Structure 1
Amino acid sequence: MIRSVLIGLVAGMRAMTPLAAVSEAARRGTLPSDNGALPLLGHPLAAAGTKALAAGELWGDKLASAPDRIVPAGLAARLVTAGIAGAALAPRRQALLGAALGAGAATAAAYLTFGLRMRAMRRWGQTATGLVEDAVALGATRTIVGR
């Protein structure tokens, strides 16, 4: 269940990255055999679509017009994607708990990382801080989901 919490923490920073990684792992068949992943996650179109959305989010985050992650739509996206990813990384019989843990962790991390990012942006700017946050999110996701 720890992976469900950890993937939720990453979703607090980047909503789509954890979902894209879990979808790709489901497509490749590298999730544990007793996982709570929705069958649709492993479909090639789902994997390609979530990767495209994740790439768009990584790019869009550097724009001055990017909305804050703590606006209602941003929080809702994080709740949904972290819940799906958290369930996928949990044992099948505990998928609902994995979803709840992932969603809860994403909400907490969204507020925590928002505050950190705002302070960092005042010193280093939006692009530099966004790139650092991207690297943290991508590295953590890769470690959590595995290859």
Structure 2
Amino acid sequence: MWRSIVLGAVAGMRAMTPLAVVANAVRSAELGRGGGMLPRLMARPLLSAGALALAAGEMAGDKMASAPDRIVTSGMIARTATGALAGAAAAPRDRRALGAVLGATAAIGAAYATFHLRIIAQRRYGQSATGAIEDALALGGAALAARI
């Protein structure tokens, strides 16, 4: 269930990254489809490409001064939803509901924690540098979770 938690935490930093990584991992057989509709759905090329495009756009947009805070209501809804979806997809078939709950919970906690850490880091290093570091952490965490 660690996968679900890590992917949820990544969703707290970057809402679309866990879906892109999970979709790619399912398509490349690094993450088993394990039966059920969700992993099969995520393995579809159009969904995988769309998730990748949205994740890249989110990472680029995050560096802009006009980017909204991740803890605004719409951002939290997206992070909770993608954390739940990625958490469920990464969980064994018989534990997908628990994976969804763990993913959603980790997304909420990580969103608030990383928001406050980012505010502190931005004062010293600026928005672009801290965003790039956060991108690397999110990508690394999601890639690791897909391979655990």
Look up the match of 2:22: 22
Q: Trace 1:1-147 onto structure 2 (pairs within 5 A).
A: 1-34=1-34, 38=38, 39-146=40-147
Where 1:79 maps in the other structure, the secondary structure is helix
Q: Deviations over 1:38-74 (max 9, x none)?
A: 1211100000000000000000000000000000000
Q: Distance in 2 between matches of 1:80 and 1:125?
A: 29
Deviation at 1:97, TM superposition (A): 0.7
SS in 1 for 2:111: helix
Q: Distance in 1 between matches of 2:35 and 2:137?
A: 25
Q: Counterpart amino acid of 1:82?
A: G
Unpaired runs of at least 5, structure 1: none
Using the aligned pairs only, state the percent identity: 56
User: What is the distance in 2 between the residues matched to 1:35 and 1:126?
Assistant: 42
Q: Match for 2:4: what amino acid?
A: S
Q: Structure 2: how far apart are the matches of 1:52 and 1:14?
A: 13
| Distance apart, 1:37 and its partner CA | 6.1
Secondary structure of the structure 2 residue equivalent to 1:70: coil
Assess if the C-alpha contact under 8 Å between 2:26 and 2:32 holds in 1.
no
CA contact (8 A) 2:70 2:115 kept: yes
Q: Cα 1:125–1:36, aligned 2, differ >3 Å: closer, same or farther? A: farther
Coordinate RMSD, CA, aligned: 1.4
Runs of 4+ in structure 1 over 4 Å off: none
State the 1:30 CA deviation: 2.6
Q: When the two structures are superposed, what TM-score results if normalisation uses the length of structure 1?
A: 0.95
Structure 1 residue 29: Cα displacement: 2.8
- The answer on whether the counterparts of 2:4 and 2:102 sit within 8 Å (CA) in structure 1 is yes
Distance 1:42-1:118 versus aligned 2 partners, 3 A rule: same
Query: Which structure 2 segments of 5+ residues have no match?
Result: none
TM-score under structure 2 normalisation?
0.94
Q: Number of paired residues?
A: 147
Whether the 8 Å CA contact 2:85–2:100 is kept in 1: the answer is yes
Residue type of the partner of 2:81? V
